[in-house]
């Protein structure tokens, strides 16, 4: 019997990689449901090709007259709530959460409660409410298999290593397009420059996050909740070639490295097949083609958002949720031309300093912190308080 798959965010880069795998292995997988936010043209093409049971258009602003309620035999639902509805069907084995931002939290919770294996690419779920997600998983048949290339690399390395031999895990980062730009020139960078990632083809929000390595900060917090390492035992190195995705350092001083061509097809395929082995070569990339590999320490003066992420992670409670929410607002403001690139971490710090940290026991507590952070971030940007930091 084919394994059922649900994709949340099918029109993004991770979603497209997942569809690529489904095309390569049509005898193994079937698309049962999927979502897009507002790309109706892409949604229609996917529905006609894969003929899933359900399509969710998550944007409240979508014109319902364009696609109607059905595309062939595919039922079309509308609004953010349908993200939660489409992940629970009994024929679904794996849910790939590839939506961007805090909008992925509620559908991930629904998938956990339904006992699904989750290929998690929505890092904000664990960043925003990691303790709550971990408590849910303890009482569920659900499991998380990370899809981000760095976390998937660490997942595969750690799975076959003895815990008492481990010293530290290390996430790699490209360093973004401004790795060599003089720091004094960072306030002058344009939106177009920030959207030119040197290695990966990603959506605008993640690309801007990567330019300031805030994305890596979010991944540090995610790694803490995925693997249980303290923040002192989670490192970050700049690796411009993006061939090595994760390193595990052992107590005897050795390092184990996972390397592959920078293509999301590898971690996506692993998450879909897990715990089975991917049965055939997806893309050849011999070591002789790697060239010179560099590993450099990140400069926290150049990447203050990364330092802020460590601070928020160590504080625990709702601090990571506040960090994530204020960053989402700041990135959107930058993309709208309302704040400077260097004002993104300044705005985040302002919000973190003004909202008291708390340690809720329920999802609503984390969502309330998220709401307050977004409101305050907008307020600061309008009042130009962000410019004072």
Query: In this predicted model, what pLDDT tens digit does every residue of 18-33 receive, in sequence order?
Result: 999 999 999 999 999 9
Distance from C-alpha of 77 to C-alpha of 72, rounded to nearest angstrom: 14
Answer with the residue of higher pLDDT: 256 or 102: 256
CA 85, 88, 91, 97 dihedral sign is positive
Determine if residue 123 is labeled as part of a ligand binding site.
yes
CATH number of 316-388: 1.10.1740.10
Average pLDDT over residues 294-313: 97
**3-state class of 97 per DSSP?**
strand
- What is residue 129's DSSP assignment? H
Nearest Cα neighbor of 354 from 335, 375, 338 is: 375
Q: Say what the pLDDT of residue 1 is.
A: 84
| Residue 174 assigned ligand-binding role | yes
Q: What is the pLDDT of residue 389?
A: 37
Phi and psi at 13, nearest 5°, equal -65, -40
Residues 368 and 320: beta-carbon distance below 8 Å: no
Q: What average pLDDT does the segment 286-310 reach? A: 95
**According to the model, what pLDDT value does residue 383 have?**
61
Could you give the angle at which helices 343-354 and 363-383 cross, rounded to 10 degrees? 120
**Residue 382 has what pLDDT?**
72
The packing angle between helices 13-24 and 265-273, to 10°, is 60
User: Mean pLDDT throughout 142-153?
Assistant: 97
pTM of structure: 0.94
In this prediction, residues 213-225 reach a mean pLDDT of 97
Query: How far is 26 from 31, CA to CA, in rounded Å?
Result: 10
Is 216 known as a binding-site position?
yes
On whether 69 is known to bind a ligand per the annotation, the reply is no
pLDDT of 387 above 50:
no
Instruction: Report whether 84 belongs to an annotated binding site.
Output: no
Residue 332 labelled as part of a binding site: no
122 has binding-site annotation: yes
248 is known to lie in a ligand binding site: no
CATH number of the 3-146 domain? 3.40.50.720
**pLDDT band for position 283 (50/70/90)?**
confident
**Residue 219, annotated ligand binder?**
yes
| Residue 192 marked as a ligand binder | no
Least Cα distance to 367 among 187, 129, 64, 113 occurs for: 129
Say whether pLDDT at 227 is over 70: yes
Question: Which segments of the chain belong to CATH 3.40.50.720?
Answer: 3-146
- pLDDT classification of 39: cutoffs 50, 70, 90: very high
- Is the pLDDT at 142 greater than 80, yes or no? yes
215 is in an annotated binding site: yes
> What confidence tier does 384 reach under pLDDT thresholds 50, 70, 90?
low
Continuous segment of H or E residues that includes residue 173: strand 166-173
**Mean predicted lDDT score pLDDT of the chain:** 94
Sheet (strand 143-146) strand order: 70-71, 74-78, 54-57, 29-36, 3-8, 92-97, 117-120, 143-146
Nearest by Cα to 260 from 153, 121, 173:
153
Residue 264 is predicted with a pLDDT of 92
Question: What mean pLDDT comes out for the span 269-287?
Answer: 91
User: Please, where in the chain does CATH 1.10.1740.10 lie?
Assistant: 316-388
* Cβ proximity of 108 and 118 under 8 Å: yes
Indicate whether 388 pLDDT > 60.
no
Is the bond into 275 cis (omega within 30 degrees of 0)? yes
| Model confidence at 201: pLDDT above 90 | no
pLDDT tens per residue, range 313-353: 999 999 999 999 999 999 999 999 999 999 999 999 999 99
| Chain centre to alpha carbon of residue 99 | 8
pLDDT band (50, 70, 90) for residue 10: very high
Q: Which of 66-75, 104-113, 262-271, 380-389 has the lowest mean pLDDT?
A: 380-389
Q: Is 387 annotated as a binding residue?
A: no
Residue 102's pLDDT band (cuts 50, 70, 90): confident
């Amino acid at each position: 019997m084919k394994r059922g798959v649900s994709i949340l965010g099918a029109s993004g880069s991770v979603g497209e990689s997942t569809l690529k795998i489904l095309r390569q292995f049509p005898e193994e997988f079937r698309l049962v449901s999927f979502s897009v936010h507002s790309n109706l043209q892409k949604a229609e093409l996917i529905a006609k090709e894969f003929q899933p049971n359900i399509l969710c258009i998550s944007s409240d602003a979508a014109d319902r007259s364009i696609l109607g309620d059905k595309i062939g035999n595919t039922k079309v639902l509308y609004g953010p709530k349908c993200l939660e509805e489409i992940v629970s069907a009994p024929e679904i084995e794996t849910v790939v959460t590839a939506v961007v931002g805090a909008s992925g939290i509620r559908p991930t919770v629904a998938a956990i409660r339904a006992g699904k294996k989750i290929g998690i690419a929505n890092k904000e779920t664990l960043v925003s409410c990691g303790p709550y997600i971990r408590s849910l998983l303890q009482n569920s048949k659900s499991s998380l298999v990370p899809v981000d290339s760095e976390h998937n690399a660490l997942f595969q390395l750690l799975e076959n290593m003895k815990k008492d031999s481990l010293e530290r895990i290390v996430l790699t980062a490209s360093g973004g397009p401004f790795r060599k730009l003089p720091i004094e020139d960072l306030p002058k960078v344009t939106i177009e420059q920030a959207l030119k990632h040197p290695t990966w083809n990603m959506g605008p929000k993640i690309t801007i996050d990567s330019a300031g390595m805030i994305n890596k900060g979010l991944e540090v917090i995610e790694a803490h909740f995925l693997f249980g390492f303290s923040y002192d035992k989670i490192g970050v190195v700049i690796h411009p070639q993006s061939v090595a995705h994760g390193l595990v350092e052992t107590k005897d001083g050795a390092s184990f490295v996972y390397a592959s061509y920078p293509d999301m097809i590898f971690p996506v395929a692993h998450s879909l097949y897990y715990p089975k082995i991917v049965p055939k070569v997806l893309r050849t990339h011999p070591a002789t083609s790697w060239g010179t590999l560099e590993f450099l320490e990140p400069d926290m003066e150049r990447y203050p958002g990364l330092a802020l992420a460590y601070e928020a992670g160590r504080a625990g409670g709702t601090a990571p949720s506040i960090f994530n929410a204020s960053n989402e607002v700041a990135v959107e403001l930058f993309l709208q031309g309302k704040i400077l690139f260097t004002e993104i971490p300044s705005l985040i710090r302002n919000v973190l300093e003004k909202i008291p940290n708390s340690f809720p026991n329920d999802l609503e507590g984390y969502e309330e912190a998220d709401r307050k952070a977004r409101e305050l971030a907008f307020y600061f940007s309008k009042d130009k308080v962000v410019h004072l930091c």
